[in-house]
Structure 1
């Protein structure tokens, strides 16, 4: 196998999906402006993305090795290439729903395939860790790129313009290029050939068996609450910037890249911190800092006056301050995942990861739906203040998670 070419293909795949997955907030803003969709209705786009990820991730775990990782990647890229082409050709809210449905289904195929392929090309554990970290780094670069790529195509002077849809020609071309690269790259998957497998039915009952353990229940609740907050803020921050902070549409999207940048910095620095400190105080400090950031930044967003000539130098301070909540959020998710998986024998890591994917997807959908409803029914300030509820619950769930981890270790 040409390992460098395979890795290039994997990085490009993750880069493309990072842009598509994290464009939900931008698309929510644009469908509200373009098609007159209500905020509560637009919030369902998160569900069209997350629910297929949860459902398909569970279903593919048993049969994907038989299908083949390369074939799964090609199918996923072909699906999203067609879906992105449909966006400018058939501009409608229904097409946006179809796009994220396709992205969710495809990412479920990609996530299992990409991580499984890393195991085939890595020579040892250190190399595996290095490749995985680089892959996640590319994902965060894609997240950051999404805000600027979409922001470039948005016409702030004409909010109802469909010019932003031209970004999908670029994304479709990137999907096609990656498809061709994967197609003509040789994958040796003989080591991944499955033995007599237990099948999806037994896998399902193994997952149900894990859910009977208090440790697992508290863990999935904590993960659910975290993703609820992360997606509530990430999906609705562009709209918050536009409507509450009175920023132009393009700038509203671009400023949100600060949030993604802070998540990236937090994730990259978390490994260094977690190797030197106990995980529990770090998690508590992060959760408390999240709540403090909400209480500190949101009062600064009150009564912002419309400035038709607003620029980066004259934008409200809150536009730059509030996204820094991502710096404190970032270490929580990988931190609790690492603690949970290291508390289980290795043969239970796969069903545990399946549960994590399902509850993470449900948390993301719930966060976006609740925030969209409250945003539309009341206002953006109240919607974002409401995140203090799951943040407080997260603090409590971490306490019980720590207790059950210690009992499990004993």
Structure 2
């Protein structure tokens, strides 16, 4: 499974799975905007969709991650695709806010299975740390290509002239077919998962307890908290940017969604280019620069969103400058998540990648829910500018977390080196 020829079909399957889930997961912001328009749901209630997505991700990851190698990564991927194929069909057949909740619940359950399986499979395919970092950044970069596509795919089905129209629900026929196509591809792709099973496994309960013990390690604890803060910021921006564009920047509904694609494009460019950068530079200064640049972008862009008047003829050439400046935060945000994930996973043996990814997914899901719900509450209670200014708090904490993370990585590497020397002696 480590030769280049056998890697290609596996990586193709992983990339397509991630593309599908990128569209589904990051449609939350668009769906929030549409359920507000279609079903008269208030912002606080609409923000619950993020919770319906993220909490199942956390719960399912907590329950199954430690036993994923026993269940089989390929079986988990197939089950996930089958779940979302059915859930997407329900959206146009039973249009309601409750159906949207059900959809994101199913997407959350399915993505928990997918993310643990995909990340663990990358550990089996990669030959060394550099290749692992390259694949991770490329995978997450392709994920952002899916996010970018989602804004345009959904935008094509939205009727800006009639906000109450439910024509946007027709997009789910296409998404269901895409899930079915991906299912077939994964079904006929061969996976060698033999290296994922620990040599001295003591059973599911012991594996679960081992996953919990991982969190007691200072390195893991600092890592998951840093990942939590990152996802909090990313989801706060990504989920509420369409509504920010619509209500604060006064853009039409369809254009509000399409302009948000700039954010996704920046994330995609940032992650794909990071695969090259991380092979040449030390990860820590790259991460620190990115976090500082994120804060600087917020401080530069939000003042540009003040006092914008409604223009019924607004277009791409006449849109406020803030619509193009604020999404640039994605360019600096992009390398952080795959970067710290790769550093963490590369520090562990392969049979621990699934439980470690489980912990990552749990805290990522909690971070996403927290970011979306807090931003939604502040957005509704105060205004969009204040809600996005608040992201400076987790950005600052993330910078502090990176310093502690580097300290723990260096300590862990020194300890591992000492152990290897004592064994060889």
Q: Is the 8 A contact 2:141 2:267 kept in 1?
A: no
Query: Alpha carbons of 1:389 and 1:77: their partners in 2 closer, same or farther (altered >3 Å)?
Result: same
Alignment correspondent of 1:220 = 224
Alignment correspondent of 1:166 = 170
Query: Alpha carbons of 1:39 and 1:354: their partners in 2 closer, same or farther (altered >3 Å)?
Result: same
CA-CA distance at 1:396 after TM superposition: 1.9
Alignment correspondent of 1:40 = 44
TM-score of the aligned structures, taking structure 2 as reference length: 0.87
Q: Is the 8 A contact 1:65 1:192 kept in 2?
A: no
Taking the aligned partners of 2:387 and 2:126, their CA distance within structure 1 comes to 48
Moved more, 122-131 or 173-182: 122-131
Query: Alpha carbons of 1:54 and 1:124: their partners in 2 closer, same or farther (altered >3 Å)?
Result: same
After superposition, where does 1:248-259 map in structure 2 within 5 Å? 248-259=252-263
Query: Alpha carbons of 1:348 and 1:76: their partners in 2 closer, same or farther (altered >3 Å)?
Result: closer
- Answering whether residue 68 of structure 2 is matched by residue 54 of structure 1, we say no
Taking the aligned partners of 2:362 and 2:77, their CA distance within structure 1 comes to 21
Q: Is the 8 A contact 2:153 2:171 kept in 1?
A: yes
CA-CA distance at 1:114 after TM superposition: 3.8
Alignment correspondent of 2:91 = 87
Alignment correspondent of 2:302 = 298
* C-alpha distance after superposition, 1:82-105 (max 9, x if no partner): 111111111111111100111111
Alignment correspondent of 2:422 = none
CA-CA distance at 1:42 after TM superposition: 1.0
- Answering whether residue 364 of structure 2 is matched by residue 360 of structure 1, we say yes
- Answering whether residue 388 of structure 2 is matched by residue 384 of structure 1, we say yes
Q: Is the 8 A contact 2:259 2:323 kept in 1?
A: yes
CA-CA distance at 1:202 after TM superposition: 2.1
Query: Alpha carbons of 1:186 and 1:245: their partners in 2 closer, same or farther (altered >3 Å)?
Result: closer
Alignment correspondent of 1:285 = 289
Taking the aligned partners of 1:271 and 1:393, their CA distance within structure 2 comes to 25
CA-CA distance at 1:190 after TM superposition: 7.1
- Answering whether residue 299 of structure 2 is matched by residue 332 of structure 1, we say no
* C-alpha distance after superposition, 1:332-374 (max 9, x if no partner): 2222223333444555444332221111111111000100110
Structure 1 gaps of 5+ residues are none
TM-score of the aligned structures, taking structure 1 as reference length: 0.90
CA-CA distance at 1:233 after TM superposition: 0.3
CA-CA distance at 1:148 after TM superposition: 0.2
CA-CA distance at 1:188 after TM superposition: 5.5
Alignment correspondent of 2:113 = 109
Query: What SS does the aligned partner of 1:297 have?
Result: helix
After superposition, where does 1:56-71 map in structure 2 within 5 Å? 56-71=60-75
Alignment correspondent of 2:376 = 372
CA-CA distance at 1:44 after TM superposition: 1.3
Moved more, 170-179 or 200-209: 200-209
Taking the aligned partners of 2:325 and 2:252, their CA distance within structure 1 comes to 18
Moved more, 31-40 or 134-143: 134-143
Given candidates 209, 212, 233, the residue that maps to 1:208 is 212
* C-alpha distance after superposition, 1:134-173 (max 9, x if no partner): 5444322211100000000001111111111110111112
Alignment correspondent of 2:103 = 99
CA-CA distance at 1:399 after TM superposition: 2.5
Taking the aligned partners of 1:27 and 1:248, their CA distance within structure 2 comes to 15
Taking the aligned partners of 1:128 and 1:325, their CA distance within structure 2 comes to 25
Q: Is the 8 A contact 2:143 2:268 kept in 1?
A: no
Alignment correspondent of 2:180 = 176
Alignment correspondent of 1:274 = 278
Coordinate RMSD, CA, aligned: 2.6
CA-CA distance at 1:23 after TM superposition: 0.6
Alignment correspondent of 2:420 = none
Taking the aligned partners of 2:284 and 2:248, their CA distance within structure 1 comes to 36
Query: Alpha carbons of 1:303 and 1:276: their partners in 2 closer, same or farther (altered >3 Å)?
Result: same
Query: Alpha carbons of 1:75 and 1:214: their partners in 2 closer, same or farther (altered >3 Å)?
Result: closer
CA-CA distance at 1:228 after TM superposition: 0.4
Q: Is the 8 A contact 1:81 1:175 kept in 2?
A: yes
Q: Is the 8 A contact 2:88 2:175 kept in 1?
A: yes
